[in-house]
Structure 1
């Protein structure tokens, strides 16, 4: 960018042009030049389609409550249906195996059944004992395997790290929405 700016001044005498104007013009024009030369990016778009009751997403998110005047961090379990966006939430003291399984049972009973297709998951310790390389193959925990078999849950595990961050964005946004709309201001509980 600096070379282009310097050449405009040296070769074309454009003293009145600022560097930021040149930078904006080049940023706008560069992709168009690449397309005209046949080297531009190919715009490929695959729209997501979901059938009713077919797919869902599950995740945990941190929430804060005041318990007897002290702030306590708890875990919010969320199961969100992909087609309708309907979600079921439950707050637990931790995000352990018991909370993970109980959250599913609560969601299935609230929704009136189990999603017929895949349910998308992170690589939660409650479900995944080991991630095998960068594939989608996982070694599941014994309790999760038994639970999945009982309820006929078809698990789909997202890629670890940033590669899989977009694969279950609906439930990620749902947790933030729930936190902002139901837990602000921070609720106070005064149990003995």
Structure 2
């Protein structure tokens, strides 16, 4: 409580006038007879932690918060389809790489094709589903969906899917995201 009060008073104090761990331990020993009860290292660790927490509590600093992602087994996957440069017979060649990765396990299936056409995109899906033994039951997130898009509506994120992609997606029960 005493240390917290000092740290709160430091919020408005000039930088050079703020309490250090050494200053706090000296004042505790002098004012509250803390000899043998607290050590410098205990106070130092407490001050290091509470200094930031105090700034967060009064709104002077944002809290470090994160939301852990939870993925159920076999539910979600992510697909990326794009260019990859490979060396073929000593020559650098650009090919298309299809990659499907399951969100829960991180297991991934990759397939390299000579072109980035719709056929390669669809073959990548069929190959991945065969290797994995099924289709994810939830959503599949797509990073690059050019092979499945017929047109983009204005400047929005809305897309008109190609008829062939709609047929493949419907056949496998894919919920694209």
- Residue 97 of structure 1 is matched in structure 2 by 118
Over residues 24-43 of structure 1, what are the superposed CA-to-partner deviations in whole Å (9 max), with x where a residue is unaligned?
Answer: xxxxxxx9586364242243
2:80 — aligned with what? 59
Which structure has more RCO (C-alpha within 8 Å, separation ≥ 6)?
Answer: 1
Identify unmatched segments of 5+ residues in structure 1: 1-7, 9-30, 157-192
TM-score by length of 1: 0.58
> What is the aligned counterpart of 1:147 among 168, 171, 174?
168
Task: State how far apart, in whole Å, the 1-side matches of 2:58 and 2:156 are.
Answer: 36
Indicate yes or no: 2:79 matched with 1:79: no
Moved more, 103-112 or 31-40: 31-40
The separation in 1 between residues aligned to 2:104 and 2:152, in whole angstroms, is: 28
**Shift, 1:49, TM fit:** 0.5
Structure with greater Cα Rg: 2
Pairing partner for 2:130 from 106, 109, 114? 109
Give 1:73 deviation, angstroms: 1.5
Q: Distance in 2 between matches of 1:128 and 1:74?
A: 20
Q: CA deviation at 1:63?
A: 2.9
**Number of residues of Structure 1 aligned to a counterpart in Structure 2:** 129
Q: Distance in 1 between matches of 2:144 and 2:81?
A: 11
Shift of 1:88: 0.8
- What value does the CA root-mean-square deviation take over the aligned residues? 2.7
What SS is found at the alignment partner of 2:146? coil
For structure 2, the residue ranges without an aligned partner over 5 or more in a row are 1-14, 16-50
